[in-house]
Amino acid sequence: MTDKKQIKLTVNGVAYQREVETRWTLADFLRIDLGLTGTHLGCEHGVCGACTILLNGHTARSCLLLAVQADGQSVATVEGLADDDADLHPLQQAFIDHHGLQCGFCTPGILMTLVEYMADTPEPDEAAIRDVLSGHLCRCTGYQGIVAAAMAAATELKRIAAHDG
Amino acid sequence: MMDSVPRIEDPALLRGQGRFLDDIQLPDMLHVAFVRSPHAHAVIRGIDKQAALEVPGVHTVLTLADLSEVLTGERLPLGFGKAAGLPADITPFVLCKDEVCFVGEAVAAVLADDRYIAEDGAGLVVVDYDPLPAAVDCRDAMADDAPVARQANTTNLLATFDVGYGDCSDAFHRADHVIAVALKHHRGGAHPIEGRGAVAQPSPIEDRLTLWTSTQMAHEVRALVVKMLGCDEAQLRVVAPDVGGGFGAKFLTYPEEIVVAAAARMLARPVKWVEDRREHFLSAIQNRDQYWNLEIAVDHRARILGVRGEMIHDQGAYTPQGLNLPQNSALSVTGPYVVPSYQLNVSVVETNKVYTIPVRGAGYPEAAFAMERLLDKVARELGLDRAEVRRRNLITADQMPYELHLKARSGSPMLYDSGDFLECQAQALAAADYDSFPTRQDAARADGRYIGIGIANGVKGTGRGPFESAIVRIGRSGQVFVHTAAMPMGQGIATALAQICGESLGIDAAAVRVIAGDTDAISMGLGGFASRQTVTAGSAVHLAAEAVRDQAIDIAAMLLKTTPDTIVLKDGRAWDRDRPEQTLTLGELAEAVAGVPGYSLISHTTTSDAKPGLEATRIFMPESLAYCNGCHVAEVAVDIDTGAVTLLRYVVVNDSGRLINPMIANGQLQGGVVHGIGNALFEKMAFDKNGQPVTTTFAEYLLPTATEVIDCEIINMQSPSTLNPLGVKGIGEAGCVPAAAAIASAVEDALTPFAVRIDEIPITPERLVEHIHTQSSTSR
Ligand code: FES
Ligand code: FES
């Protein structure tokens, strides 16, 4: 009764070809088939945002997508954020500096949302950041550290962009 | 030394390299989906597994009868084993036997190759139920003719008890004013973003089972599972991997954990269960409802003479862990105030809902809400300022240490060892510009906006005993280890313990490896609850690290042929202060006392009083709870058309004694306050009249999000506790204790023109609009 299908996709720049069950979610595929367990499941009904990934550069809830829907697409997850083992992405560093995480379970999804947002909005204000974060639930932090980290990261990313430009 | 150093937990978590329970994948593993009761109360006539067993990939379906061959009992032992006076047979079953007593109670377990198939199977198990009437509202359930929550009961009244001291009748007799409130306090579930889950793996080599579980108490889980499986402690290792928040939900051994362990043992295969959010709504503990009827006696100057009344607590269908939640509430009503006499009668009532144990705050927020609502009403009726009424009644600094006339459930007297409650309130009022608020309020009203300010004080008993233990050890590799039964679940306790250890040994926190949540790493301990870990485990680590420091200095002195007083530990080395070129690394010191077969311990020295190894185990036993205190001031705006409450400012002055890492401490406060905001304004676990839960997604049960909350302005007072060597008091729950009371006070203040009274939380927009309309129409 299981129905399987071949899919091809890239995840964090690496190409994969796999046979998947058509009813499997993208989240389960990433976590179980590919072992990329940084993407978390907090509700499995599309509200908490913990499972957020980037699909072709845009945020999507991987608990609400089927793996087959990612066929031919490019996926980015938290594991791909840092360039290498030594360096963290400026956003990750800002989360350390500003206490943007406690248990860290909600964090990967929040990072992915902020990465997308900051690419589009180099000079966000606090209200805008809170607005974009409102699609994520965090039970630990009360959001204060997350907002502070996001603001600091925006400044840092802008500085880097100016430097590179 | 103690400072806001970066957390050692962060880098792995930020890279997606945390190891949470659901990240554990083992070969040959079976996945569990539970068949759960759709009824609040029913008799089970039969269970038909056949259709489920026919699904390809379904391995087996287990009921209580099937598991009985590997279990020593049908129901869980009462957690912590001590709850005198309770009837027998009040704990949950491992799986339902012949009766279901709440929606979501687990009836059978389907084990399959993956969770999808297990859920297919669970949908096909046919359970023949005969529905029974349900006890839903705990007040109605007290009536003589109410349906019983469990058929074995003759009454739903599980327990009644009285708490109090002093002569209340005299106080109320002498009072110039007696003022009463009737309150409903609702708190929903704990809702860590990572739900519960467990993986059990039988060793193919040894007679041993490893149980990974997302828990706040690895050692207690081991004790209960050992009891249920009839094995010994060497046959069971319990490990908590990274835990994605607890807040009380994981401070219990659940039936599901027993099923996972028992099934793995029975089938000799790894077994995994990870709940989804709906299961958390249905079957993880909640905190839920308390109904309070309280009255206060005051003199003409609003000085409290006595408080008395009654409280009804909705216990749910079972009692897994005694009555600590209603007990805490009853014991903490008087809070930071001088209350010469107090009497509270508590009724604990069983209902057909999932059982309750404490959620973050553990009964204190309810009590603070009750007391603070009373004081607001005193202020209103006597025409006094709310802060002034509190000022007249707060315990003063020169009354410290202040002994309450109550005993904690351990039997030890309740004592506030330190703190300056008046100063705390004064600082909060100043920071919030309380005195100028009436001007701002008038201006806003002239503008058609309704703003209000609210104030609330709270204390929280922290650092609960009886003990916590720690091992500090330096390996021959030079690595420094802390082993602890304290349980990290997001609070940053590993960093705090590493800092405490590092301070003694002269190394950075980042150089310390903290091994926690593993019953193999340390023999005993209690885990994470009651804001206790910095106090108890922190003190144990401090004592052990100090002992290891002394050992290291002695050995260094022997090896460097000098006296201990010239040795300093710094940057991972022992230095001879007088000859800075003479140093030894911690690894070299450990190596020197590792022993060589046949030789004396430090062969090239003449002294022989060196001891093997660089390691110490210490246990810290607090004499009593270390109470932290805080004053919160909230400023809100209420939209009188929609009932929406907007937070404008939130000031916290908190005193949790000496802070090990202020950054982490402030994060705990902010998180706690937002939990309180959720309770005040959003979180409502609703049931219909048949006991059917109607809020089982995050779209129906609302947690606060980033747009509803604001940054707290936090001021830390740091009155050192006299009860532990670090001078610390807990902080994890501090933020949520007065929060709902402060917000209720602010909302009421904003709506003064409508005479709206807040006697229930959460304060929902619907109810506010209703209140505003009723009051506007009656006043016209
Ligand atoms: S797990 Fe996908 S939104 Fe919660
Ligand atoms: S850090 Fe724990 S849920 Fe956000």
Q: Tens digits of per-residue pLDDT, B192-221?
A: 999 999 999 999 899 999 999 999 999 999
Mean confidence (pLDDT) of chain A: 96
* pLDDT above 60 (res B780): no
Q: If you average pLDDT over residues A142-147, what whole number do you get?
A: 98
What's the sign of the alpha-carbon dihedral B773, B774, B775, B778? positive
Q: Decide if B25 is inside a domain.
A: no
Instruction: Tell whether B361 and B305 lie within a shared domain.
Output: yes
Query: Minimal CA–CA distance to A109: which of A69, A138, A131?
Result: A138
> Which DSSP string corresponds to B294-354?
EEEEE-TT--EEEEEEEEEEE--S--SSTTHHHHHHHHTTTTTB--S-EEEEEEEE--SS-
Instruction: Tell whether B172 and B203 lie within a shared domain.
Output: no
Please give the Cα distance from B383 to B360 (Å, whole number). Answer: 35
For residue B661, what are the CA distances in angstroms to B500, B506, B656? Answer: 10, 17, 12
Q: If you average pLDDT over residues B153-157, what whole number do you get?
A: 95
Cβ(B691)–Cβ(B134) below 8 Å: yes
pLDDT at B530: 80
**The token pair that represents B201 in the structure block:** 């793996």
Q: Which of B394, B429, B446 is the last residue of a domain?
A: B394
Question: Residue B109 belongs to a domain with what CATH number?
Answer: 3.90.1170.50
Mean confidence (pLDDT) of chain B: 95
Matching residue, tokens 């040959």: B28
Instruction: Tell whether B100 and B35 lie within a shared domain.
Output: yes
- Cβ of B705 within 8 Å of Cβ of A92? The answer is no
* pLDDT above 60 (res B124): yes
Q: How many CB atoms are closer than 10 A to CB B665?
A: 26
- Cβ of A88 within 8 Å of Cβ of B14? The answer is yes
Q: Decide if B280 is inside a domain.
A: no
Q: Residue B103 carries which side chain, given as an amino acid letter?
A: V
Instruction: Tell whether B686 and B651 lie within a shared domain.
Output: yes
Please give the Cα distance from A125 to A131 (Å, whole number). Answer: 10
pLDDT digits (tens, 9 = 90+) for A93-135: 999 999 999 999 999 999 999 999 999 998 999 999 999 999 9
In B, minimum Cα distance to A86 occurs at: B11
Q: If you average pLDDT over residues A7-33, what whole number do you get?
A: 98
Q: If you average pLDDT over residues B495-499, what whole number do you get?
A: 96
Instruction: Tell whether B561 and B521 lie within a shared domain.
Output: yes
* pLDDT above 60 (res A66): yes
Name the minimum distance, in Å, from the CA of B344 to any CA of chain A. 33
Please give the Cα distance from B390 to B392 (Å, whole number). Answer: 5
Please give the Cα distance from A149 to A129 (Å, whole number). Answer: 10
A102 C-alpha to ligand 2 centroid (Å): 5
Domain ranges, residue B168? 135-186+286-394
In B, minimum Cα distance to A91 occurs at: B14
Sheet holding B236-239, edge to edge: B58-62, B106-112, B30-36, B271-274, B197-202, B209-213, B236-239
Query: Minimal CA–CA distance to B127: which of B60, B56, B34?
Result: B34
How many domains does the structure of chain B reveal? 4
pLDDT at B1: 46
B/e letters for B90-112, b = 16+ CB within 10 Å, e = fewer, are bbbbbbbeebbbbbbbbbbbbbb
Ligand 2 lined by A99 (C-beta under 6 Å): no
Helix B364-382 and helix B324-331, axial crossing angle in degrees, nearest 10? 30
Contacts of the segment A125-132: beta carbons below 8 A, 24+ positions apart: A126/A151, A129/A154, A129/B706, A130/B706, A130/B707, A131/B706, A131/B707
Ligand 2 lined by A138 (C-beta under 6 Å): yes
Q: Decide if B23 is inside a domain.
A: no
pLDDT digits (tens, 9 = 90+) for B134-143: 999 999 999 9
Residue B229, CB-side half-sphere exposure with 13 Å CA sphere: 29
- Cβ-based neighbours of B668, under 8 Å, separated by 6 or more: B491, B731, B732, B734, B735
pLDDT at A165: 61
pLDDT at B84: 65
pLDDT digits (tens, 9 = 90+) for B261-277: 999 999 999 999 999 99
- Cβ of A96 within 8 Å of Cβ of B13? The answer is no
Please give the Cα distance from B221 to B639 (Å, whole number). Answer: 48
Q: If you average pLDDT over residues B10-15, what whole number do you get?
A: 97
Question: Rg of the Cα trace of chain A?
Answer: 16
pLDDT digits (tens, 9 = 90+) for B413-465: 899 999 999 999 999 999 999 999 999 999 999 999 999 999 999 999 998 88
Ligand 2, atom 3, residue with closest C-alpha: A138
Instruction: Tell whether B305 and B423 lie within a shared domain.
Output: no
Angle at B79 between CA B75 and CA B82, to 5 degrees: 115
Question: Considering only CB atoms, which chain A residues are within 8 Å of B191?
Answer: 139
- Cβ-based neighbours of B397, under 8 Å, separated by 6 or more: B419, B420, B421, B422, B423
Q: If you average pLDDT over residues A1-6, what whole number do you get?
A: 85
Ligand 1 lined by A49 (C-beta under 6 Å): yes
* pLDDT above 50 (res B387): yes
Instruction: Tell whether B146 and B203 lie within a shared domain.
Output: no
Q: What is the pTM of this model?
A: 0.96
Please give the Cα distance from B77 to B225 (Å, whole number). Answer: 10
Q: How many CB atoms are closer than 10 A to CB A162?
A: 9
pLDDT at B604: 53
Cβ(A52)–Cβ(A112) below 8 Å: yes
> Would you place residue B131 in the very low, low, confident or very high pLDDT band (cuts 50, 70, 90)?
very high
pLDDT at B488: 92
pLDDT at B158: 96
What's the sign of the alpha-carbon dihedral B97, B99, B102, B103? positive
Q: Decide if B555 is inside a domain.
A: yes
Q: What is the 3-state secondary structure (H, E, C) of B31-70?
A: EEEEEECCCCCEEEEEEECHHHHCCCCEEEEECHHHHHHH
Q: Decide if B411 is inside a domain.
A: no
pLDDT at B345: 98
- Cβ of A103 within 8 Å of Cβ of B192? The answer is yes
Query: Minimal CA–CA distance to B294: which of B409, B157, B164?
Result: B164
B645 C-alpha to ligand 2 centroid (Å): 25
Please give the Cα distance from B503 to B518 (Å, whole number). Answer: 24
B/e letters for B167-177, b = 16+ CB within 10 Å, e = fewer, are ebeebbeebee
DSSP state of B142: G
Mutate to test the pocket of ligand 1, among A29, A43, A78 (most ligand atoms within 8 A of CB): A43
Task: Tell me the backbone φ, ψ of residue B305, rounded to 5 degrees.
Answer: -105, -30
Instruction: Tell whether B535 and B679 lie within a shared domain.
Output: no
Instruction: Tell whether B259 and B221 lie within a shared domain.
Output: yes
Cβ(B323)–Cβ(B159) below 8 Å: yes
- Quick one: which ligand is closest to A47's CA? 1
All domains of chain A in start order, with CATH: 4-80 (3.10.20.30), 90-164 (1.10.150.120)
DSSP state of B137: S
Please give the Cα distance from B199 to B590 (Å, whole number). Answer: 37
Q: Which of B274, B306, B323 is the last residue of a domain?
A: B274
Instruction: Tell whether B127 and B141 lie within a shared domain.
Output: no
* pLDDT above 90 (res B300): yes
pLDDT at B83: 62
**The token pair that represents B137 in the structure block:** 């509202």
B181 C-alpha to ligand 1 centroid (Å): 41
Cβ(B327)–Cβ(B162) below 8 Å: no
Question: Residue B654 belongs to a domain with what CATH number?
Answer: 3.30.365.10
Atom of ligand 2 nearest to the CA of A140: 2
DSSP β-bridge partners for residue B760:
B184
Please give the Cα distance from B634 to B552 (Å, whole number). Answer: 51
Matching residue, tokens 């351990």: B410
Question: Considering only CB atoms, which chain A residues are within 8 Å of B670?
Answer: 141-145
Ligand 1 lined by A132 (C-beta under 6 Å): no
Q: Which of B252, B274, B296 is the last residue of a domain?
A: B274
Question: Considering only CB atoms, which chain A residues are within 8 Å of B244?
Answer: 40, 42, 103-105
* pLDDT above 60 (res B606): no
Q: Decide if B55 is inside a domain.
A: yes
For residue B420, what are the CA distances in angstroms to A99, A162, B462? Answer: 29, 51, 17
Please give the Cα distance from A133 to B708 (Å, whole number). Answer: 11
Q: Decide if B776 is inside a domain.
A: yes
Q: Decide if B401 is inside a domain.
A: no
Query: Minimal CA–CA distance to B492: which of A145, A114, A129, A87?
Result: A145
Instruction: Tell whether B380 and B291 lie within a shared domain.
Output: yes
In B, minimum Cα distance to A25 occurs at: B116
Cβ(A77)–Cβ(A36) below 8 Å: yes
* pLDDT above 80 (res A69): yes
Instruction: Tell whether B666 and B612 lie within a shared domain.
Output: no
